[in-house]
Amino acid sequence: MKTFVVSFVVVVLLVGCGLQVPGQQSDQPPPISADPAAAQQYLDQVRPILDNTARDVVRVADISVQVDGGNVSVGVDPNAIEQARQETQQGFDELKAIQTPPGLEQTHQRLVSAYEEALPAFDNLIQAVQSGDPVRIAESVRTDLPKIQRLLSEIEAVRQQLQQAGG
C-alpha cells in the first residue's frame, strides 16, 4: 500500500468521513411503477451484480485518512482500485445486457448511469496514484471519489427501493 501526503486537508477529510461533497447526488431513485413480482424478479437479477460491485468499491470509497502534524496521509491501495474498476466494468456490462421489465426502465437507467460515471473516475484515480504526485492524487480524490461514492449510494438506494417494491 502506498501512502501519500497531501495538503488538501478539508476536502480529503470531508470525503474520507463520507460527508456530502458538492456534485454528489443525494436524490432518490425514480418511483417504481412495476408490479411487485416484476420488481422482485429484477432485484433477483441485479442483486449479485450490485453485491459484487459494492464489495470491491467500498474498499476504494472509504479511503483511510490520517492527520499528523498538519499533514494528511491518504492510504491508497492501487490493487484495490484496479479490482474495483474491473468489477464495476463487469457489472456495467452485465447491467446493460438485462432486459428491463416495464415500470423499471428509469431505475435501471439510473443504475447504468452511475456505473458509467464511476468507470472514468476509477481510471483517473488509478492514473493519479500511479503518478505518485500528491497534488494530482488529492485532485483525483476531490473530483473522482464522489463519483465512486455516488455509485455505492445508487446501489444501496435502488436495492432498498426494489426490496420495498417487491413486497
pLDDT range class, residue 157, cuts 50, 70, 90: very high
pLDDT mean across residues, the chain: 80
State the DSSP code for 1. Answer: -
Question: Which residue, chain included where needed, has cell 494530482?
Answer: 136
What is the residue extent of each domain of the chain?
2-16+35-166
- For residue 76, the model assigns a pLDDT of 66
Burial class (CB in 10 A: 0-12, 13-18, 19+), 52: middle
- Residue 7 DSSP symbol: S
Q: What's the topology of domain 2-16+35-166?
A: Four Helix Bundle (Hemerythrin (Met), subunit A) (1.20.120)
**How deeply is 148 buried, as exposed, middle or buried, from its count of CB atoms within 10 A (0-12, 13-18, 19+)?**
buried
If one counts every other C-beta atom within 10 angstroms of the C-beta of residue 45, the result is: 16
Contact 166, 36 (CB under 8 A): yes
pLDDT at 3 over 60: no
Query: Does 18 score more than 80 pLDDT?
Result: no
For 73-112, what is each residue's pLDDT tens digit? 567 677 888 999 999 999 999 999 999 999 999 999 999 9
Helix or strand run (H / E) with residue 67: strand 64-68
